[in-house]
Structure 1
Amino acid sequence: MSRHSDARESTRLDGRLQALNDARELGEGVLPDETLQEVLRVLERASSRRSLSGDHTVVGFFGATGSGKSSLFNAVSGAEIATAAARRPTTSEPLAGVWGAEGSEPLLDWLEVHNRHHAAAVDGFADEETGLILLDLPDFDSTRQANRETVQRMVGLVDVLVWVLDPQKYADAAVHHGFLAPLASHGAVTLVVLNQVDRLPERDVQPVLDSLRGILARDGLAEVRVLASSATTGAGVAALRAAIRSVAMQRKAQSQRLAADIAKAAQELLAVSGEGEAAGVRPASKKRLADELAVAANVPVVVRAVGQSYRLESVRRTGWPVTRWLSRFRPDPLRRLNLRSSAPAELNRTSLPPAGAPERARTDATVREFADAASAGAPGPWRAAIRGAAREGRERLPDALDQGIAGTDLGANRTSWWWGVFNVVQWLALLTVVVGLGWLGVLAALGYFQMPVPEVPRVEGWPVPTLMIALGVVLGIFLAITGRFIAAAAARARAGKARKRLNAAVASVAQEFVVEPVDVEVSRLGAFNAALKKAGSG
């Protein structure tokens, strides 16, 4: 393997490991902790293995009791390593045969293999060209719990897995369902050896091998290499040794094993997550949510109050001065709702009626409908996460909406230019009436006391004082009526502006407490799927 290829493969592995870690982090709180912890263990194993010797290939021999695994290990090693290390019928702890000892110690320490044998060169295995560690491992069906745990641990650590089966138990469900099928993604670093073929009639060897290959195909290992051997006669040993040497010399086993681990972890995440993308937040759904929340938050009530308040204030400012004082006895709708306060919004609260059961039900249904639309197409756990984000925000909506309305500028304290004009003219009209009445009063008094009464100016035969009174009264009434029409039109315009501002405030609250949390979860699912796809790509 060239340096350029090594660097490229390392970079690709880095990317896939990072993607797997990203997927794990994104899945926290959504996917089962057990699966996420297993992924974390894969990442930690990968990090540890890559920090150790890349010049050594670790090959583990796995098998059941009576499969002849240790004998085959010795035959491949070219020495009685297993017998020399432990004189007992079955292997009780891992045993290592090492070719190329330099740099192997930290790797063996990490593997927790204490029985180490620096093996002599044998056909295909030589210190100067091969960094190789062969491991003879305990039987996976051992009656000792510690032995089974060691096998399970080593299955996750070694670079190459050699499964030694025998003609009697080659179809044993324990090995196929417990080990081979779950490791279907590891076919590139798996060898299967049918050992003890010397115990079969020669005519039966090929049918048994064909049967074994069929079972392996059902396990998902149709492409795995299957060899026949006999530790007793030496048949197939050279072929097995050559296969192991080929793997070691290519220096690909470590990266292939890690790539298989990543692919398997990605598949496990996919299995608990499910496939699919969320529909996401649509503009129409956002608008419907804001509209429904506006109704539930009594925005129409506030809008009506804005119009009524403006009309009332217009009467107080522009009505006929003789009668306008009566409007003081009418309460201001906005003041009644505590929406004329100058206090900061965070300290102020409206006096709007609290949401009753119908309003709460409407809000709940609206938020749920929004979340359902956004989560459509998402797999189960993520759909629940999206709905949960919307539900969490929903609990805080009533108070947030109240503050949003309280903090909206309704224009309640703004005056209109025409108020001043009408007010001045109204007072001038009233002054005209008063002057006319006073003039007539003086003339009447002079006549009563038999004093000379001056001639009153006339216009078209009408006395000027009388005309002044008539003009003042008519003008005052005309202005009062006209003012009401102008006030009604201006009140509608002000209410319309208030509606827009209130709807914007409600939409902002909905965005913060419902839309954004939902959007975050939708984006999280998208990032998770992208990371998982990258991690799982071979």
Structure 2
Amino acid sequence: MSRHRLTRAESTLDRQLVGLNQARELGEGRLDDGALAQVYAVLERATSRRSLSADHTVVGFFGATGSGKSSLFNAVAATDVARVAVRRPTTSEPLAMVWGAEGSAPLLDWLEIADRREGDIVPGLSDDGGGLVLLDLPDFDSVQLSNRSIVERLAGQVDVLVWVVDPQKYADATIHNDFIRPFSTHASVTLVVLNQVDRLAIAEVKPVLESLAAILDHDGLGKVVVSGVSAVTGEGVLELRRKISAVVKAKAAKSARLAADVAVAAQQLSDASGGGNAAGVHQQDRKALAAGLANAVHVETVVTAVQSSYRLEATKKTGWPVTRWLSRLRKDPLRRLSLRRGGASEVNRTSMPPPGSAELAQVDSSVRDFGDAASLGAPGPWRASIRAAARSNRAALPDALDQAMAGTDLKANTRAWWWPVFGLIQWFALLVAVGGLVWLGTLAVLGYFQLPVPDVPQVEGWPLPTLMVLAGVVLGIFLAVTSKFLALAGSKSRGAQARRRLRASIAAVSNQLIILPTEAEIDQYREFQEALNLART
């Protein structure tokens, strides 16, 4: 592979690892811990492998008991260091043959391989003098659990996987299901070898190779070319060496292996997450939430109190002065709720009764409906996390709503323009009526004491003081009745204004405690999807 292509592959791998790590971090606390742990293990392995020798390609020979794996290893490496035996278990510790030992020690330490040998120049395998680490591993079906553990660990660490099978067990379901198929995404760094072809009749070799290829295709490794070899006769060994050598010279196996690991890990995260897109927060959902919360905290009760307070205040300011004092005996309904003020808040809480079970149930229902609507379409784990985000401030919600009500400027102390006008006329009418009464009283006293009584001006035959009394009383009563109708209309307008202000305050609380956390969680899910896509490309 050219240096440019190699650099591009490394850059792509960098981006994929960043995406995978971001997806893992975003999935914390939301996705299955087991899946996240596996992804973290992949990231750790990738980081470790990339920090070690880039000049060495690690090729591992994997096979079941009786496959002739160690014999083939010896044949490829042109040595006899790998222990070959008939009884199980055979290979018990991994063996490393290294061509170009310089810089390989940290890599072999990471692989935890103690038995290390330097290989001689082998035609077709190490003509260029180095950069290859061949591993002979324990049988993956070993009766010793420690051997199987070693194989499973190293299968996740080597750069190139060489699966060695034999004519007798090449179709064994355990071999394919437990070992080969889980690495179906690693076709670019996989070699499959049918060993012991010398035990087959010449006419049987091709059908067996085709049968094995068909099974591999079912495993997801249809692009892998199967090599037929014999460690005993040497058939196909040179060709296998050349394939291994080509992989080593390309210097791309490490990146390809890690990219395949990332793809598997990304798929694991995708499976743990599930697919789909959250519906998100829409305007109708915001309105429905605010309306539900407003009903739960009895906004209409406050609106009714605002209207009653307005009418009461109007009566105090514009009612007939003779009877308006009676209105002062009535307590302002807003004061009972600790809501009678204008401008900045003077209290931290209202005096409304604490929410009962019905009110709390309505709050819960409103929040739950909102969370359900916002999470609709999201996969299970994320739908649960979005719902949980909507409920995350549930404990603080009732108190926050009450404080929002207490802090809302209801404009309850704002006077209507017509109040002072009516009030001035009322007092004028009362003054006229009182003046008439005083005039009439004076005339009555003079007559009682047989004193001269002056003539009283008349209007259309009516004595002026009498007309003054009648006009003052009638005008006062008329203004009082008229103010009642004006106050009723004004109270509706003032109530509508208070309703808008209260709902705006409640909407602000719901936005802060419910909507923003929900939107943040939805954004988290979208970022997770983007990171996962980055890990896959």
TM-score (norm 2): 0.95
Alignment match, 1:147: 147
Deviation at 1:391, TM superposition (A): 3.3
Matches within 5 A, 1:439-518: 439-518=439-518
Question: Which structure 2 residue ranges, 5 or more long, are not aligned?
Answer: none
Counterpart in the other structure of 1:157: 157
- The CA deviation at 1:361 is 3.7
- Over 3 Å counting, the alpha-carbon distance change for 1:48 and 1:344 in structure 2 is farther
* Distance in 2 (alpha carbons) for counterparts of 1:338 and 1:171: 83
| Structure 1 alignment gaps of length 5 or more | none
Q: Work out the CA distance in 2 between the residues paired with 1:325 and 1:88.
A: 110
C-alpha distance 234-347 of structure 1, shift in aligned 2 (>3 A): farther
Q: Partner of 1:98: helix, strand, or coil?
A: strand
Moved more, 402-411 or 41-50: 402-411
How far, CA to CA, are the matches of 1:167 and 1:344 in structure 2? Answer: 89
Cα deviation, 1:194-253, whole Å, max 9, x if unaligned, reads 111112222222222122112212211111221111111111111111111111111110
Contact 1:100 1:127 in 2 (8 A): no
Q: Deviations over 1:475-531 (max 9, x none)?
A: 211221221222122211111111111111222222222222222222222221222
**C-alpha contact (below 8 Å) 1:375/1:387 kept by paired residues:** yes
CA distance, structure 1, for counterparts of residue 47 and residue 129 of structure 2: 26
Aligned-residue CA RMSD in angstroms? 2.2
Alignment partners' CA distance in 1, 2:141 and 2:300: 75
The question of 1:43 aligning with 2:43 is answered yes
Q: Does 1:302 align with 2:297?
A: no
Percent identity (aligned): 59
- Alpha-carbon separation, structure 1, partners of 2:111 and 2:350: 68
* Matched residue SS, 2:484: helix
> 2:369 is aligned with what amino acid?
E
1:74 aligns with 2:59: no
Higher mean alpha-carbon deviation, 123-132 vs 185-194, is at 123-132
Q: For 2:300, what is the secondary structure of its paired residue?
A: helix
Q: Could you say which residue in structure 2 is the equivalent of 1:185?
A: 185
Give SS of 1:369's match: helix
Is the 8 Å Cα contact of residues 197 and 205 (structure 1) preserved in structure 2?
yes
Deviates more, 1:117-126 or 1:336-345: 336-345
Q: In the alignment, does 2:350 pair up with 1:350?
A: yes
Q: Are 2:347 and 2:406, in contact at CA under 8 Å, matched by a contact in 1?
A: no
3-state DSSP of counterpart to 1:81: coil
- Deviation larger for 474-483 or 415-424: 415-424
Output aligned runs, 1:364-513, within 5 Å: 364-513=364-513
8 Å CA contact 2:189–2:256 kept in 1: the answer is: yes
Q: Does 1:122 align with 2:122?
A: yes
Aligned residues: 535
SS of 2:350's equivalent in the other structure is coil
**Which residues in structure 2 correspond to 1:291-330 (within 5 Å)?**
291-330=291-330
Q: 1:219 to 1:347 in 2, by over 3 A?
A: farther
Q: Is the 8 A contact 2:347 2:407 kept in 1?
A: no
CA distance in 1, matches of 2:67, 2:371: 58
What is the TM-score of this pair, normalised by structure 1? 0.94
Partner of 1:243: 243
Give the Å deviation of 1:341: 6.0
Cα distance in 1 for residues equivalent to 2:54 and 2:225: 24
1:99, 1:127 within 8 Å by CA — same for their partners in 2?
no
**Higher mean displacement: 188-197 or 218-227:** 218-227
Does the CA-based 8 Å contact 1:61-1:137 persist in structure 2?
yes
The answer to which of 93-102 and 362-371 deviates more is 362-371
The CA deviation at 1:89 is 6.8
- Tell me the amino acid that sits aligned with residue 208 of structure 2: V
The answer (yes or no) to whether the contact 2:229–2:237 under 8 Å persists in 1 is yes
Aligned to 1:519: 519
- Distance change (3 Å), C-alpha of 1:90 and 1:344: farther
CA contact (8 A) 2:341 2:411 kept: no
* 1:147 CA drift (Å): 1.6
- 8 Å Cα contact 2:164/2:192 also seen in 1: yes
